[in-house]
């Protein structure tokens, strides 16, 4: 079989991408985006469209005439709480919210693929999963908790993410660690306020905060991407209020913990919590620790990587391991609980602004590359002995 991505498919997907870009929605609030995607999947001819998956997620299933393996391909729905300054005609129309990570482009790639799948899939099944809330690390966990997800029963799960700095249309793909584990640590220290003229009568968090700023940062270890790599980044510190007559008795520190593996993350958490408790006890402070935006490490399974490598050869896309792993985190890692999983990086250009940069805009030229790659992945997953194409973007 051969799944053909036409120029009409790419034009429609490009136009949709720009509409999505102009109407971004934050994690967990992707109601209009999800409804738009669900409508696109039905129009493409999906055999079943599941809405509200894990909150606002959408899954579209395409079934072949004959039985065969099931390949799940995932994209993301959400945008970021950042003001866009790209200046493109389709810039965000929602102040302070923008698609600055390329999720609009990832969705467009799957829409182009869906149009091709709707024209006929001889065998097997393909599930296109549009996951909510990737940016805050909550989406994949919610999707997995939805009992309808298990019923989709994929044999392999694959995905992509665009990567600025990598040549346009070139792919990075490797087995093993792909993205870091990370989590936000919120530390609240409580002592007792006092008059500013007599600070000794209070219990101040000042010294503990100063110690923790340096101490937590010093927990960094190992060069990336070694297995013992650990990084702690102080994201914010606050103490007191606006009154000059008060010596503060409360303070807060926010830090991001990052490791290459989940096992190293557990050790880093223990080290950080022990340091915080010791600093609080030394000055008679009470302490509360809360965790936010928890991402597990993402690792590429060899079986899924082998499928993607063959697909890239069939699609004629240049690929190598350079670019993986990366320091950021990816919520995709949790989906490895469904089946062997792998994510590739698709180069969005050496001069492209970084991800989450206010100037970022997903290159439309990548829609065809991504769609052809995933079309080839579907073909390979069904055992089609297709010859490789000539390398192209």
**Helices and strands (H, E) in the chain, number of each type:** 9, 16
For residue 21, the Cα-to-chain-centroid distance in whole angstroms is: 17
Report yes or no: 319 and 135 within 8 Å, Cβ to Cβ.
no
User: How far is the CA of 89 from the CAs of 86, 93, 102, 104, 203, in angstroms?
Assistant: 9, 10, 16, 15, 55
Q: For residue range 214-224, what is the model confidence (pLDDT) as tens digits?
A: 999 999 999 99
- Of the candidates 341, 304, 339, 335, which has an alpha carbon nearest to the alpha carbon of residue 144? 335
Sequential pLDDT tens for the chain (393 residues): 689 999 999 999 999 999 999 999 999 999 999 999 999 999 999 999 999 999 999 999 999 989 999 999 999 999 999 999 999 999 999 999 999 999 999 999 999 999 999 999 989 999 999 999 999 999 999 999 999 999 999 999 999 999 999 999 999 999 999 999 999 999 999 999 999 999 999 999 999 999 999 999 999 999 999 999 999 999 999 999 999 999 999 999 999 999 999 999 999 999 999 999 999 999 999 999 999 999 999 999 999 999 999 999 999 999 999 999 999 999 999 999 999 999 999 999 999 999 999 999 999 999 999 999 999 999 999 986 555 555 555
Paired sense of beta strands 319-320 and 156-163, if any: unpaired
Three-state SS annotation for 215-247: HHHCCCECCCCCCCCEEEEEEEEEECCCCCCEE
| Helix or strand run (H / E) with residue 124 | strand 123-131
Residue spans in the chain of domains classed CATH 3.30.70.360: 181-295
Question: Under a CB-based contact definition with an 8 Å cutoff, are residues 187 and 254 in contact?
Answer: yes
CA angle 341, 345, 347 (to 5 degrees): 165
User: Which of helix, strand or coil describes residue 158?
Assistant: strand
CATH 3.40.630.10 boundaries in the chain = 7-178+297-381
**CA distance linking residue 101 with residue 90, whole number of Å:** 15
Query: What's the topology of domain 181-295?
Result: Alpha-Beta Plaits (3.30.70)
Cα 103 from Cα 91, distance rounded (Å)? 14
Residue 326 DSSP label: B
3-state SS string for 125-148: EEEEEEECCCCCCCHHHHHHHCHH
Query: CA torsion angle for 305, 306, 307, 308 (degrees, to 10)?
Result: 50
Give residue 384's pLDDT: 67
**What is the pLDDT at residue 208?**
98
The structural architecture, per CATH, of the domain 7-178+297-381 is 3-Layer(aba) Sandwich (3.40)
Report pTM.
0.93
């Amino acid at each position: 079989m051969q799944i053909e991505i036409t120029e009409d498919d790419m034009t429609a997907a490009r136009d949709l991408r720009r509409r999505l870009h102009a109407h971004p929605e934050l994690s967990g609030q992707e109601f209009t985006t999800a409804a738009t995607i669900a409508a696109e999947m039905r129009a493409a001819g999906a055999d079943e469209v599941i809405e509200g998956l894990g909150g606002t997620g959408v899954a579209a299933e395409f079934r072949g005439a004959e039985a065969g393996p099931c390949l799940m391909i995932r994209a993301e729905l959400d945008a970021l709480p950042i003001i866009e300054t790209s200046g493109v005609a389709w810039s965000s129309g929602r102040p302070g919210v923008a698609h600055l990570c390329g999720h609009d482009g990832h969705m467009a790639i799957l829409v182009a693929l869906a149009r091709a799948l709707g024209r006929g899939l001889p065998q097997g099944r393909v599930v296109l999963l549009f996951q909510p809330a990737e940016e805050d690390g909550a989406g994949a966990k919610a999707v997995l908790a939805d009992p309808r997800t298990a019923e989709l029963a994929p044999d392999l799960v694959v995905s992509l993410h665009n990567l600025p700095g990598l040549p346009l249309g070139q792919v990075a793909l490797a087995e093993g660690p792909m993205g870091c584990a990370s989590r936000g640590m919120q530390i609240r220290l409580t002592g007792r306020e006092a008059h500013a003229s007599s600070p000794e009568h209070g219990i101040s968090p000042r010294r503990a905060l100063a110690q923790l700023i340096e101490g937590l940062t010093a927990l960094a270890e190992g060069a990336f991407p070694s297995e013992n790599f650990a990084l702690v980044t102080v994201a914010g510190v606050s103490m007191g209020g606006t009154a000059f007559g008060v010596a503060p008795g409360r303070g807060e520190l926010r830090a991001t913990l990052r490791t290459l593996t989940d096992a190293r993350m557990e050790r880093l958490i223990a080290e950080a919590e022990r340091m915080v408790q010791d600093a609080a006890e030394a000055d008679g402070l009470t302490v509360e620790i809360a965790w936010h935006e928890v991402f597990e490490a993402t690792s590429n399974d060899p079986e899924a990587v082998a499928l993607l490598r063959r697909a890239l050869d069939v699609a004629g896309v240049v690929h190598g391991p350079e670019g993986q792993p990366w320091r950021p985190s990816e919520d995709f890692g949790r989906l490895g609980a469904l089946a062997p999983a792998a994510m590739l990086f698709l180069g969005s250009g050496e001069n492209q602004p970084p991800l989450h940069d206010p100037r970022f805009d997903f290159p439309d030229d990548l829609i065809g590359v991504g769609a052809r790659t995933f079309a080839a992945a579907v073909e390979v997953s069904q055992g089609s002995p297709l010859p490789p194409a000539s390398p192209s973007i």
